[in-house]
Structure 1
């Protein structure tokens, strides 16, 4: 099978915000406790944070991490996580039917984020609480001193403010499952008033308002229109969430789901444009896709278990063990974000450790990379620069999701400073090799070609603590050819490739 891809220096989508490769940590299952935090672990710092996990996060080069939720935040009292640990209360978390010790709060998370080389993206509770708790939290985190909350932070051991700029105004408030669920009008009013209060404190903050939890919500996309009608002049981003499933084990249908993701982004982009025009506004609102991942391997069984247990602390929950097929899916999702990076400025894989995550840990033991770690790492490292508007010519197939799904899913990025063109390509065909011709126009002379491949003959192949490198990237030779400004690369069936061209 043949495919032709043309990249032209004069045809680009725009500069990619590095936060497109962000992450997420929620007080859920073992994401925090025995995930990033495990006092007594052989690698633990004096503050209890696991160095082996920090190292894997640093290798991802994740620019932001959203915290502390997620559904958890909608009944969370941030004040429970400050002060002496011995005096912090244990609370019942209604979202996941677990108990929360509050050993980790804003101080501990901030120390971890600094060690992991990531910036904080914090969420406020607009479910069970509201404007007053939100403004107090921002003051505690960001004010230098001389006020009640900032002086309390100093008393608790942090003299300098953290100066967090990115704040989420609640989480999934369109969802009936959410503690403090509201209608679009109710939430829009509360979010707008909260945003006004936070901007009165600091008008340079970046604020994210809740969009639809997924595109099958009965209120979508009217929810976006109503909320933006209320908040447009006060916020910078509207959040979207989407999880990807393959319960029926139909690979072709599964790998077509990013077409649905693309429509979701495009529809909300249209709503943004509509409200902007209606308000005659000069303000640009973008999308924060701050929850996304594959999530189905353990979802149904864990939903049943949650109903039966008695408020355990940090139980095994939502610990999907990803396979090679999920590598292909994550690759297609990341490609979609790159191609939509003019609109999607922030994206957060949910989550980072143990809970539907690229990193797994064993209590008291090791940490290892899941299969999906690898496409995320490659995109995070090499997918920064200018997103290219590619012309792609290849065969397609018909699916329930879309009438035409190209067998080659590809995105391109130009890093002008380093002098590289990088293409991320997924061959969605399960039987045929694909001969891809990459034409690069007006970029200058091609000096070198690199081809990194993730391929396994078994779609169900997984990485485990006993076999952590079963699925991993490998450098391949002999698959690329060069003729003037054209590069020829052969990619195997069901494979993920990163092709880099040195200019």
Structure 2
């Protein structure tokens, strides 16, 4: 049996968890909106055609912020097409995903939905085919109550009070050649600076996210971040990161080692942000918004066969398995280990499209990745402790990979310590120990694990609980030391308190 030692000290902290690290994403893509959160005629829909069964599952995830409306979609989107009387809304082609957008669901419907789902909006503006003037107008429409043209237009549409959206994305993946209106780093940085400056003139209370490079593997990575921030450092509060992982080679150890690559990615972007801070002699630090992250590869082949110019096709509908859930847990642990700088993150996406929740005309169910997200979102509040993990390692294409991914959080309000851990050993259990003598009188209050004998096991509508959390036992504290045995290929949540 492998053994690992976890070392923490209540005075050595990484930072407080910003609850927005547990955000998600709804784009006008595939069935995320239509047949996902909005479905007229469904027996599950309420009086606004919003699916109540989906809202219930989202509430269980405890998602505090949802990015909208894209994604690639936003770079060609006219938000005005999706407000006002539905009978007057135009159907338009969407060049991002080669479909027809009906605009029957738009900004105001989304804001109504956020209230029902107990979440808030992270709104993206179109800096692809549009620019600063449009960005000003949408902030005015959403956030002002001064009798101006766009604030009056919102009232005319039936929304007397402002939506008061505080978090805004300045475009999406603007270095990507697939992006409508994609730009060089200097072009985008200048556009983001001017749009951001004008948006904050309208509402100084908002926060802004600038686009980082679309992926760690982009040729533009690094120089893009440096150039963009050099242009718009004063106007923005966050820089975005996007990254998806897949197991096309069917090599599970390498796949689970993607947490090593993710950790390096985050550290690299932090270094660039701080280099620009030093270069510009600024006091403020730029924090990170990891506003697209997930496993994504299962649906690539089927998506090559999609017909163009249809409405809401079955697109990017990855069916997730158990090993995907293990990596999702590891990715969330990795972001928490950088909680001092990663303040916002969005699992991409929320419903039907590379999502933890799937729907049909007869119901909604939880995919495997739903469970680690829900557990960490609900138990992962408080302060992240600097978690030193002494664990065996294995070789991977990403470098030496630890068999144990782990982070510990302290919640002083609830007087608890919570440990999240993934044992990536596919064959052997692992014994962990952690000295908790600083937390006198603590005991094991709860121990939940997610495991399965089959790495490729999935959940379906017929068998939605095939992969699901179960209670575990065996964890104990004796003489101030926690010991537990984590079975092979498993994710664990151990809650300690008085």
- Using the size of structure 1 for normalisation, the TM-score is 0.98
Take 2:381 and 2:300, find their aligned partners in 1: how far apart are those partners?
33
| 1:153 maps onto 2:148 in alignment | no
Q: 1:361-418 CA deviation, whole Å, 9 max, x = no partner?
A: 00x210000000000001110111000101211111111111x211011011111101
| 1:435 maps onto 2:431 in alignment | yes
Cα displacement (A) at 1:441: 4.1
Take 2:415 and 2:357, find their aligned partners in 1: how far apart are those partners?
31
| 1:495 maps onto 2:471 in alignment | no
What is aligned with 1:372? 369
Structure 2: runs of 5 or more not aligned: none
Take 1:299 and 1:416, find their aligned partners in 2: how far apart are those partners?
45
What is aligned with 2:472? 476
- Does the CA-based 8 Å contact 1:8-1:441 persist in structure 2? no
Take 2:451 and 2:151, find their aligned partners in 1: how far apart are those partners?
52
Take 2:457 and 2:426, find their aligned partners in 1: how far apart are those partners?
15
Match runs of 1:207-246 below 5 Å: 207-246=208-247
Take 1:386 and 1:359, find their aligned partners in 2: how far apart are those partners?
29
Cα displacement (A) at 1:234: 0.8
What is aligned with 1:266? 267
Q: 1:180-231 CA deviation, whole Å, 9 max, x = no partner?
A: 0000000000000001101111222100000011111001100000000000
CA shift in 2, pair 1:25/1:350, >3 Å: same
- Does the CA-based 8 Å contact 1:58-1:116 persist in structure 2? yes
Match runs of 1:57-68 below 5 Å: 57-68=58-69
Take 2:172 and 2:109, find their aligned partners in 1: how far apart are those partners?
22
What is aligned with 1:131? 132
What is aligned with 2:404? 408
Cα displacement (A) at 1:447: 3.2
Take 2:203 and 2:34, find their aligned partners in 1: how far apart are those partners?
33
What is aligned with 2:325? 327
What is aligned with 2:340? 342
What is aligned with 2:109? 108
Take 1:305 and 1:114, find their aligned partners in 2: how far apart are those partners?
37
Take 1:298 and 1:110, find their aligned partners in 2: how far apart are those partners?
30
* Corresponding residue SS for 2:305: helix
Q: 1:310-355 CA deviation, whole Å, 9 max, x = no partner?
A: 3010000010010000111001000000001111100000000000
Deviates more, 1:346-355 or 1:275-284: 275-284
What is aligned with 2:385? 388
* Corresponding residue SS for 1:315: coil
What is aligned with 2:414? 418
Take 2:170 and 2:41, find their aligned partners in 1: how far apart are those partners?
35
* Corresponding residue SS for 1:8: coil
Take 1:90 and 1:293, find their aligned partners in 2: how far apart are those partners?
31
Take 2:440 and 2:343, find their aligned partners in 1: how far apart are those partners?
29
CA shift in 2, pair 1:310/1:394, >3 Å: closer
* Corresponding residue SS for 1:437: strand
Take 1:180 and 1:425, find their aligned partners in 2: how far apart are those partners?
42
Take 1:394 and 1:283, find their aligned partners in 2: how far apart are those partners?
36
User: Which residue of 434, 447, 453 maps to 2:443?
Assistant: 447
- Does the CA-based 8 Å contact 1:145-1:154 persist in structure 2? no
Take 1:456 and 1:491, find their aligned partners in 2: how far apart are those partners?
13
- Does the CA-based 8 Å contact 2:139-2:203 persist in structure 1? no
Deviates more, 1:431-440 or 1:248-257: 431-440
Take 1:331 and 1:288, find their aligned partners in 2: how far apart are those partners?
18
Take 1:81 and 1:428, find their aligned partners in 2: how far apart are those partners?
46
* Corresponding residue SS for 1:327: helix
What is aligned with 1:457? 453
* Corresponding residue SS for 1:305: coil
* Corresponding residue SS for 2:133: helix
Cα displacement (A) at 1:300: 3.3
Take 1:394 and 1:369, find their aligned partners in 2: how far apart are those partners?
32
Aligned positions, number: 497
* Corresponding residue SS for 1:442: coil
- Using the size of structure 2 for normalisation, the TM-score is 0.99
Q: 1:111-130 CA deviation, whole Å, 9 max, x = no partner?
A: 00000000000000000001
Structure 1: runs of 5 or more not aligned: none
Take 1:165 and 1:212, find their aligned partners in 2: how far apart are those partners?
23
